[in-house]
Amino acid sequence: MTEPNAHLTTAECWSLLERARVGRLAVHEEGVGPDIFPVNFVAHEGAVYIRSAPDVKAVRLAADPETAFEIDGHDESGWWSVVVRGIAARVTDELEIERSGIRHVVTASSRYKQHVLKITPRTVTGRRFADRTRAVPHVDPTPTEAIDLPAPIDVPDAAPEGTRATRPVEIPSHPPLPEGTGSHNLAG
């Protein structure tokens, strides 16, 4: 059993990166903020390679090359996540492009992606999380008793803009229902 919230070694992070094919690319635009894009990629010789059309990803990375890239998944040891932070740049060297293998990655989009972007990492970090779903005991999906839900909260009228007449109303948070129970099984 994996220790909860265990840090992954750099080698473990790269091993997971080399096996994955879809990740999330975070880019930033001044005055607009961050954006995240799902991308197909390949990890090769300590870098992450992505193909892109001449779209918002490529434009934003040209203006601000600082980026973050994330993959996550689940295996026999539980859930994991790997984050690469670094600098992205367009690759034009045909030999590097060919050696990286990025041209052989089939993308989910049918758009022609003529640009190759390379993320050169500054940091590569990863975490592994215990699989809590394995520890949940089986619950009969047809409960014999009604489940009591809290009464709706009355939200007071909003205070005039720029003032704070009352403390904000807390949003109730409830633990998830046992697997197999859903709103269709609730009495009431």
Residue 7: pLDDT above 70? yes
- Establish if 71 belongs to a structural domain: yes
Instruction: Tell me the per-residue pLDDT of 153-185, one tens digit each, with 9 for 90 and over.
Output: 554 555 455 554 555 555 555 555 555 544 444
Q: What is the dihedral of CA 50, 73, 84, 55, to 10 degrees?
A: 30
- CATH at residue 29: 2.30.110.10
Instruction: Tell me the per-residue pLDDT of 80-96, one tens digit each, with 9 for 90 and over.
Output: 999 999 999 999 999 99
- Establish if 38 belongs to a structural domain: yes
Interatomic CA distance for residues 107 and 38, integer angstroms: 10
Counting the structural domains of the chain, the total is: 1
Containing structural domain, residue 55: 6-132
Mean per-residue pLDDT of the chain? 80
User: Coil, helix or strand for 158?
Assistant: coil
